[in-house]
Structure 1
Amino acid sequence: MDHSHVDHQEYEPVRHNKHGEHQENQHETQDHTTHKDPEHEGHHDHHAMMVKDFKRRFFVSLIIMVPILLLSPMIQMFLGVDWRFSADSYILFALSTILFIYGGKPFITGAKDELKEKSPAMMTLIALAITVAYVYSTLTVFVLKGNDFFWELATLIVIMLLGHWIEMKSVMGASKALGELIKLMPEEAHLIKDNGETIEIPVKQLKAGDAVLVKPGEKIPIDGLVYDGKSEVNESMITGESVPVEKENGNEIIGGSINGEGILKFKVTRVGDDTFLSQVIRFVREAQDSKSSTQKLADVAAKWLFYIAVIAGTITFASWIFIGKDLSFAIERAVTVIIISCPHALGLATPLVNAVSTSIGAKRGLLIRDRTAFENARKLNAVVFDKTGTLTKGEFGITDIHEIGISRDELLSIAYSVESNSEHPIARGIVKEGKKLNLKMKEVKNYQNLPGKGLKATIEEREVMVVSPGYMRSEKIAFDEKHYEKLAQEGKTVIFVLERNLLLGYIALSDIIRETAKEAIDTLKTMHVGSIMLSGDNQRVASYVGNILNMDKVIAEVLPQEKAFKIDELQKEGKIVAMTGDGVNDAPSLAKADLGIAMSAGTDVAIETADVILVRSDPLDVVTILKLSKATYKKMIQNLIWATGYNIIALPLAAGVLYNQGIVISPALGAALMSLSTVIVSINARLLKID
């Protein structure tokens, strides 16, 4: 049907041999893609090995620590026993040396790496503290007179190993979302050969254009386009959509989602790094690796804290020597200051929160691409929405039906049968409704397209037409002009169904408003965030949709290239603006806005100008972005306050300012407090959640 009256990757083809059969050997020899991510798997395996290494070193060091404690004069005095014997100091030295070399190795190695990169930090401080304690204690055995620090050295190393082990487990837990995504991909796929035979091959050998069979309950192995079959597919682990999505001929399916009870046949559309899941994994990793402005500030503070710790330790040592305290006491205070000042908690305060928030976002179908823009989303006071494809679905649906002299189903059935031959958006809306209602498809004969007017056909020996208002007026066929004008004012398109110029009824259609759009706008109002529609559609249609959604402002008849100027005008009014669009003609305005939010339109997430991508194309996810941004920032501030506040209080105590009041922190207690602060920061980050 001609609805002209309405206002409104290229892939390698499948190669065949001379008999037309699929080149099976290509699948055996060519490794076009892999669904496992070697980079992430390598990183994850390395991290897991480090966790195991710290765990092993902790338990071995713990065993060595026991005899060191029992042989230490200070511990024996505390227990009220005397287990001293000749050469016990040499055994104590030997055990401590083993512990220093084995248990202290990660810190010594880490310090070397930090110094090599000219960025001394936590590992350098720990290495400095344990080295000073070890060297001084060794000198007391062979050269100097005084008390050794072997038991403090042992407890210091053991506590530091325990703290690192717990902290690294927390980091792994925060980043495990990537691992979960990678595990979604099956290893095998059912390839349909040209002769109809089905064979099992590794998923990594599939190529674009291959035909694949998915059985009930199986995971879909790769992205594709359904050409046969019907089923409901669970995409919850990928898009966050909890309700299974119906898939049939012409629908896209995502690799990693789970097929329901039907059988599907599809053609592979994306392989390798182009698959939806691969792109999601890349975005999640980039978001976790990128730094927000708050994190950059914390990194600078952590760097300065190293120098503060060294200076404070030196001043502490010099002060106690000047006062007249013995060398061992001065060294003990200096070591405690250095240990307790380690900037580990400060260094972890924001990266862990970022990792957790990125994982939460990915599970809910939010792909964060720019952390600074995402962090600033908490300040937004205006969200601009494109209309078509954002607040609406970008597809026509039936809104009103008025039948005259026949039943509603009969009227729809005639329109459904005639329009089934057209690919126009209006026709697709009617056909979709016909299928939804299971209407009978009537046999159509003598099909004719009337340019600018409509369609004509013969159905069951009846000459019928589906036409525009223009045809009705040109042929002077009477219809309810008042009702038509009301529908037109609401932005609806009206088509008329005739039999030999006798009006059987009319059907109104409009772009379908997304189910969650109203809830999204209402929720933004409760958050004191304004909602603005920016549309290229005419004022009448845009205002109608804006009124239904109760939006604060509607700006209509804006050309794509003018949208960025409108965003700029809002920003000059002092507004902090988010722009939400489909990422196609909205690219300049997405880039101009303080936060660019793109609807991904299914499996296309390669939207370069967006700061955040909504996989589900759900307006309510805009609200989720704001909530997640606020919750993330709140957690960051909590962690930063704890990390800095802990240092402000603990550092003077470690230096011994309350020594005369009997309050002294030992190096071991300092290590315990430092490790505890790191664990608290890690646990607090893991507690991040949104409604």
Structure 2
Amino acid sequence: MEHDSRKHHHENGTSHEEHESSHSHEQSNNGHTGHDHHGDMVTEFRNKFFIILIVTVPIMLLSPMIQEFMGVEWRFTGDLYILAALSTFVYFYGGWPFLKGAVDELKGGEPGMMTLIGMAISIAFFYSVAVVFGFDGEQIFWELATLVLIMLLGHWIEMRSINNASKALESLASLMPDTAHRISGDGSTDEVRVDEIKAGDHVLVKPGDKMPLDGKIIKGESQVDESMLTGESVPVVKSVGDEVIGGSINREGSLTVEIEKLMDASYLNQVIEMVKDSQKTKSRTQDVTNKAAKWLFYIALAAGIITFIVWLAIGSTVDTAIQRMVTVMVITCPHALGLAAPLVISVSTALSAKHGLLIRNRPQFEQARNINAVIFDKTGTLTEGAFGVTDMETFSSMDEDAVLSYAATVENDSEHPIATGIVDEASARNLELHEMSDFNSITGVGIEGKIEGRNVKVVSPGYVAEHDINFDDARFNEWSRQGKTVVFLVVDEELSGAIALADKIKESAKETVAELHKRNIKAIMLTGDNRKVADHVAEQIGIDEVYAEVLPDQKADKVAEIQERGLVVAMTGDGINDAPALTRADVGIAVGAGTDIAMDSADIVLVDSNPKDILAIFSLSKKTYNKLVQNLIWATGYNIFAIPLAAGVLAPWGIILSPAVGAILMSLSTIIVAINAQLLHRFEVE
């Protein structure tokens, strides 16, 4: 294995829901007019909010009830007509998203949140207009204005949270270069803007340049740094026929790339679209909310009519019966219920983005709070995917630092992971490199050069065996058993030292597993790597169970096997060979947004390839669920209590709620729910 690894090193290192339903969902839940741009909605609701806020101030000051509450009297001739005119503007301009949403819901035969809100503001408006023109009662224009204002604020907050989460990812688009070198039919190159490139065009990507768009290499070989896109820290060797991602960096060697995907279909754009789509996935709690709103509409309608009939039946005037009915209708307006889930979800979305989590399927995110086993893929998830020096041995008078310094000098020109690991270790030890001459690559075996007149080689175990160089191989055999890659330093044909390298274990992996154990969650490793490497990694990290040498098509079966033991399972992997397993798990988590398949198969994507972020998923899922439940209990409990009170069941004892008091209670309920949702911002990973 080591010989092959070394051969590869030097052969390659020589040159060193559907569109329409999502719209209807947005309309039914947010009263939107079908726009698919959160930015437009943010602007629309913000502008409406501030305009209505300005108009609400004179409405409040002109309202006799508010004046009475403040102990002042600012009445003048025609004041109520001015009040009515301002309120008409509020009703039609500020209330338009809700009225439009109500019409859409009723057309679809699914009355819900928008219908309830539309009904409440319409009753408040027309009742108040009737009072101005002679009906016996108290106008509640101020209640209409505050009601519309609160709803606009709620929707603005929600849209802004979602938009900010999307913007955080759209910043990825800045990774894309503005220009590219397009190759003409005669072989010459022209610098053109990226948006002028068409699918099928050939572009030249020089060393140090970024790939302009997604495509396939048709000429050349190089190492490509995709770390900004995939979280994969090791540059990937790419040659003819390999795919490249727009925005990745060409490290060495010129490449000719045939463009396959334009910006709209590119990997980066898919990440952005994925985030936008994730905002539209309805959670189970949202479904409960929508059903509750539908039933609340029917209850409000029935309660209002029954209240009106009963008050007339007991001998009240029509005016009194209408007042009771209006109070019931206004107090049933489900602002608290309407904001219970969206506000928590919007805060949760913003927090998720802040913690590097992209939530694709919200029901699975909510399920994450019940996880009691986490299955990890090894490479790139628990390990860095980058070689690091783990052990060293000397066979001559040279000490470890001297061996490392010589090896790093020879390897310094190579970009290969083994070379990078040795050079990084020398750098970490602050070792100075030497002057070198006569650099030469020994095909399939190693590299050599002259340092201070001495011939220095860094070679594979195969070279040592071939040249019958004898040494105490006890430690070498132990390293091999652990699956480590070993290279030897030979100075003037004398064996001077051995360096063992292995894929570095992420420090965060140990901390993550320790934390999972504190929460009584099992840590299981599922890898295609060989048993000795897997066991060695598992032992160092503290993994409970290891399944090694598992083929990609067997991984999903292993997940099912573990689930059959009664465990609720989260699967974490890079999403390529893990795709079936990610789909089979109760919660699929892609570590590093690396591929189309990762996005298609995972429920949650960790933007940073940090396994510790899994803890944030569990904590945030639990906190979000608790907040949703608290808000739903408060909102529905409020309505259960308020409707009979508004209907006048306590009238025999002299307790009667006016429409205005009903409006105050409704507003108070909304504020409590909104504040409770915002408290989620105090979330910290436990």
Question: TM-score range, shorter-chain basis?
Answer: 0.7 to 0.9
The structure-2 alpha-carbon separation of the partners of 1:421 and 1:83, relative to structure 1 and needing over 3 Å to count, comes to closer
Please give the per-residue CA displacement for 1:346-402, whole angstroms capped at 9, x wherever unaligned. Answer: 232222222222222222221111111111111100101111121112222111121
Aligned to 1:586: 578
Q: Distance in 1 between matches of 2:68 and 2:413?
A: 95
- Other structure's SS at 2:546 match: strand
Query: What is the CA deviation profile of residues 645-675 of structure 1, one whole-angstrom value per residue up to 9, with x for unaligned ones?
Result: 2112222211112223332222122222223
1:190 to 1:458, Cα distance in 2 relative to 1, 3 A: closer
**Aligned counterparts of 2:414 and 2:207: Cα–Cα separation in 1:** 30
Residue 363 of structure 1, aligned match among 345, 354, 359: 354
2:641 is matched with which residue: 642, 649, 662? 649
Higher alpha-carbon deviation: 326-335 or 560-569: 326-335
One-letter amino acid of the counterpart of residue 605, structure 2: I
Q: Following the alignment from structure 2 to structure 1, what is the Cα–Cα distance between the partners of residues 529 and 329?
A: 65
After superposition, the Cα gap between the structure-2 partners of 1:97 and 1:414, relative to the gap in structure 1 and judged at 3 Å, is closer
Q: Distance in 2 between matches of 1:76 and 1:475?
A: 103
Q: CA deviation at 1:529?
A: 1.1
Amino acid in structure 1 at the alignment position of 2:85: I
1:492 aligns with 2:484: yes
1:192 is displaced (CA, Å) by 9.0
Task: Name the aligned partner's letter for residue 347 of structure 1.
Answer: G
- CA positional deviation for 1:493: 2.5
Q: Which amino acid counterpart does residue 115 of structure 1 have in structure 2?
A: L
Q: CA-to-partner distance for each residue in 1:462-504, whole Å, 9 max, x for gaps?
A: 4554444455456553322322233233332222333465321
Tell me, yes or no, if the aligned pair for 1:191 and 1:211 is still in contact at 8 Å: no
* Mapped pair 1:354 → 2:349: no
Q: Equivalent of 2:148, from 140, 158, 161?
A: 161
**How far off its partner does 1:278 sit?**
3.9
Contact 2:275-2:358 within 8 A present in 1 as well: yes
Q: 1:316 aligns with which of 296, 307, 311?
A: 307
Answer whether contact 1:191 1:210 (CA < 8 A) is retained.
no
The aligned residue for residue 610 of structure 1 is: 602
State the distance in 2 between where 1:595 and 1:463 align: 56
Q: Give CA deviations for 1:199-238 in whole Å, capped at 9, x if unaligned.
A: 9999867999588999xxxxx998999xxxxxxxx98xx9
Comparing 205-214 and 643-652, the one that deviates more: 205-214
Matches within 5 A, 1:29-428: 42-60=37-55, 62-64=57-59, 66-67=61-62, 69-70=63-64, 94-95=81-82, 97-99=84-86, 101-105=88-92, 106=95, 108-129=99-120, 131-132=122-123, 147-149=136-138, 151-152=139-140, 154-177=141-164, 178-179=166-167, 182=170, 272-273=263-264, 278-403=269-394, 404-416=396-408, 419=411, 425-428=417-420
Distance 2:662 2:231 in 1: 44
- What's the offset of the Cα at 1:158? 2.0
Task: From the superposition, tell whether residues 7 and 305 of structure 1 become closer, same or farther in structure 2 (CA, over 3 Å).
Answer: farther
Residues 456-467 of structure 1 correspond to what in structure 2 (within 5 A)?
A: 457=448, 459-460=450-451, 462-467=454-459
Aligned alpha-carbon RMSD (Å):
4.7
Cross-structure match for 2:220: none
1:548 is aligned with what amino acid? Answer: Q
**Residue in 2 aligned with 1:25?**
none
How far has the Cα of 1:589 moved from its partner?
A: 0.8
Asked whether the 8 Å contact 2:348–2:624 carries over to 1, the reply is yes
**Structure 2: how far apart are the matches of 1:127 and 1:5?**
69
Inter-CA distance 240–147: structure 2 relative to 1 (3 Å threshold): farther
Residue equivalent to 1:17:
none
- The gaps in structure 1 that reach 5 residues or longer are 9-38, 215-219, 226-233, 257-264
Structure 2: distance between partners of 1:616 and 1:360 = 15
Identity of aligned residues (%): 43
Cross-structure match for 2:3: 3
CA distance in 2, matches of 1:545, 1:291: 39
1:36-81 alpha-carbon deviations (Å, 9 max, x no partner)? xxx99954234322332243245435525654x44x9x98899799
Q: Relative to 1, partners in 2 of residues 1:130 and 1:422: Cα closer, same or farther, differing over 3 Å?
A: closer
1: CA distance, partners of 2:684 / 2:246 = 27
Q: Which TM-score applies when normalising by structure 1?
A: 0.76
Separation in structure 2 between the aligned mates of residue 141 and residue 222 of structure 1, nearest angstrom: 66
Which segment is superposed worse, 48-57 or 121-130?
A: 121-130
Aligned equivalents of 1:493 and 1:246: distance in 2?
A: 16
CA contact (8 A) 1:368 1:611 kept: yes
Equivalent residues of 1:520, 1:620 under 8 A apart: yes
Most deviating of 285-294 and 658-667:
658-667
Q: Quote the Cα distance in structure 2 between the aligned partners of 1:651 and 1:46.
A: 33
- From 443, 446, 449, the counterpart of 2:443: 449
d(CA) in 1 for partners of 2:360, 2:649: 47
Question: 2:591 — aligned with what?
Answer: 599
Q: Which residue of 2 aligns with 1:540?
A: 532
Go from structure 1 to structure 2 and tell me whether the alpha carbon gap of 1:279 and 1:685 turns closer, same or farther (over 3 Å shift).
Answer: farther
What corresponds to 2:21 in structure 1? Answer: none
Measured at CA, do residues 210 and 359 of structure 1 come closer, stay the same or move farther in structure 2, by a change above 3 Å?
Answer: farther
- Aligned in 2, Cα 1:5/1:93: closer, same or farther, shift over 3 Å? closer
Taking structure 1 as reference, are residues 635 and 134 closer, same or farther at Cα in structure 2, changes over 3 Å only? closer
User: What residue number does 2:26 align with?
Assistant: none
The unaligned stretches of length 5 or more in structure 2 are 9-33, 183-189, 216-226, 239-243, 249-253
Length-normalised TM-score, structure 2 = 0.77
8 A Cα contact 1:392 1:512, kept in partner:
yes
2:460–2:487 contact (8 Å) kept in structure 1 = yes
Aligned residues: 621
Residues 371 and 669 (structure 1), Cα distance of their counterparts in 2 relative to 1, 3 Å cut: same
Distance 1:306 1:140 in 2: 25
Partner Cα distance (1:348, 1:383) in 2: 33
> What is the distance in 1 between the residues matched to 2:342 and 2:666?
18
- In the TM superposition, residue 137 of structure 1 has moved relative to its aligned partner by 6.7
SS class of match (2:516):
helix
The answer to whether the 8 A contact 1:239-1:363 is kept is no
Q: Any idea what SS the aligned residue of 2:48 has? A: helix
Q: Conserved in 2, the CA contact under 8 Å of 1:469 and 1:496?
A: yes
Deviation at 1:161, TM superposition (A): 2.4
Contact 1:239–1:364 (CA<8 Å) still a contact in 2?
Answer: no
Say if 2:552 is the partner of 1:560.
yes
